[in-house]
Amino acid sequence: MKTIPFLKMSGSGNDFIIIDNREAVVPEAQLTRLVIGACRRKMSAGADGMIFIESSTNRDFKWRFFNADGSLPDMCGNGARCAARFAFIHGIAGRQMAFETLAGTIEATIGDDTVKIRMTEPRDLRTGIIMDLKGTPATVGSVNTGVPHVVMVVDDIEAVAVGKTGRLIRYHPNFAPDGTNANFVAVKENGTIFIRTYERGVEDETLACGTEMWPQR
């Protein structure tokens, strides 16, 4: 059995398996199978996604990011921060770096205990979208920050059925065929914002989302 070194990392609760694949330790034909198997909770290492660090000709590196179900999203904010920390730890890049993603070039800055990234510019902003969720009307906004997001403002963040309602939004015809992440936001009187996320590709609630933006004008 071949040994494949990896690191398990967490970005604000999003967890990822990261592999240095610049020397193709995982062959192309086995990538998706490995992702689905290794990301499976309780049966393996378990993760929201898997990141392969690959060589780049014009940036410090490029990544191949997979959701836990084997799908290929364009971007993941918390995954990008973990990938940047991984690259710094392993001497692949310095404290200032840039790397390729399907969404475009991501810039990162490594601090002593923080990682900051500059994502690509958001696009496709829409507000005041009226949706029918199995007979229940809902008003939402949407924006693409490298990953498509729908955001619904709610009064009680704890009462939201994230799995059920999130799934209805994620697979709604308005956002076919690729689907969307579904985010629920509650704003308290002191300005504190609480967020819960149903993540496409994980197909469940995750503990954080690093690409979310509240699409309010």
What confidence tens digit (pLDDT) does each residue in 177-204 have? 999 999 999 998 898 999 999 999 999 9
- pLDDT of residue 164 exceeding 60, the answer is yes
Measured CA to CA in angstroms, residue 66 lies from 47, 50, 51, 76 at distances of 11, 5, 6, 10
Lowest mean pLDDT, pick from 67-71, 149-153, 198-202, 207-211: 207-211
Residue from 9, 75, 76, 202 carrying the catalytic annotation: 76
Catalytic residue check, 76: yes
Neighbours of 91 (CB within 10 A): 7
> How confident is the model at residue 198, as a pLDDT?
96
Core vs surface per residue 9-40: b (16+ CB within 10 A) or e: bebeebbbbbbbbeeeebeeeebeebbbebbe
pLDDT category of residue 1 using cuts at 50, 70 and 90 = low
The pLDDT of residue 129 is 95
- Rounded to whole angstroms, the Cα distance separating 83 from 16 reads 9
- Rounded to whole angstroms, how far apart are CA atoms 46 and 79? 15
What is the predicted pLDDT for the residue at 125?
Answer: 94
Query: What tens digit of pLDDT does each residue of 89-142 get?
Result: 999 999 999 999 999 999 999 999 999 999 888 999 999 999 999 999 999 999
Task: Indicate whether 7 pLDDT > 80.
Answer: yes
Mean of per-residue pLDDT scores for the chain: 94
Task: For residues 217 and 215, give the distance between their C-alpha atoms in angstroms, rounded to a whole number.
Answer: 7
Report whether 141 contacts 128 (CB < 8 A). Answer: yes
Sequence-distant (6+) residues with CB within 8 A of 123 are: 143, 144
Q: How far is CA 107 from CA 59, 80, 81, in A?
A: 10, 9, 10
Residues 20-49, mean pLDDT to the nearest whole number? 96
pLDDT band (50, 70, 90) for residue 216: low
Q: Which stretches of 39-141 are DSSP H helices? A: 77-89
Cβ proximity of 77 and 49 under 8 Å: no
**Ranges of each domain in the chain:** 7-118, 123-206
The model's pLDDT over 15-31, given as tens digits with 9 standing for 90+, comes to: 999 999 999 999 999 99
CA 49, chain centre distance (Å): 8
- pLDDT at residue number 210: 83
Q: What pLDDT score does 120 carry? A: 86
State the fold for domain 7-118: Diaminopimelate Epimerase; Chain A, domain 1 (3.10.310)
Note the pLDDT of residue 189: 85
What is the pLDDT, as a whole number, of residue 194? 93
Using the predicted structure, report yes or no on whether residue 213 has a pLDDT greater than 70. Answer: no
Kindly name the residue from 66, 209, 212, 215 that is annotated as catalytic. 209
CATH number for the domain formed by residue range(s) 123-206: 3.10.310.10
Sheet containing 123-133, strands listed edge to edge, beginning at the edge strand earlier in sequence: 123-133, 136-144, 148-153, 181-187, 193-199, 204-206
Alpha helices in 23-119 (DSSP H): 31-38, 77-89
Q: Percent of the chain beyond pLDDT 70?
A: 97
Question: Do the first three CATH levels of 7-118 and 123-206 match, i.e. the same topology?
Answer: yes
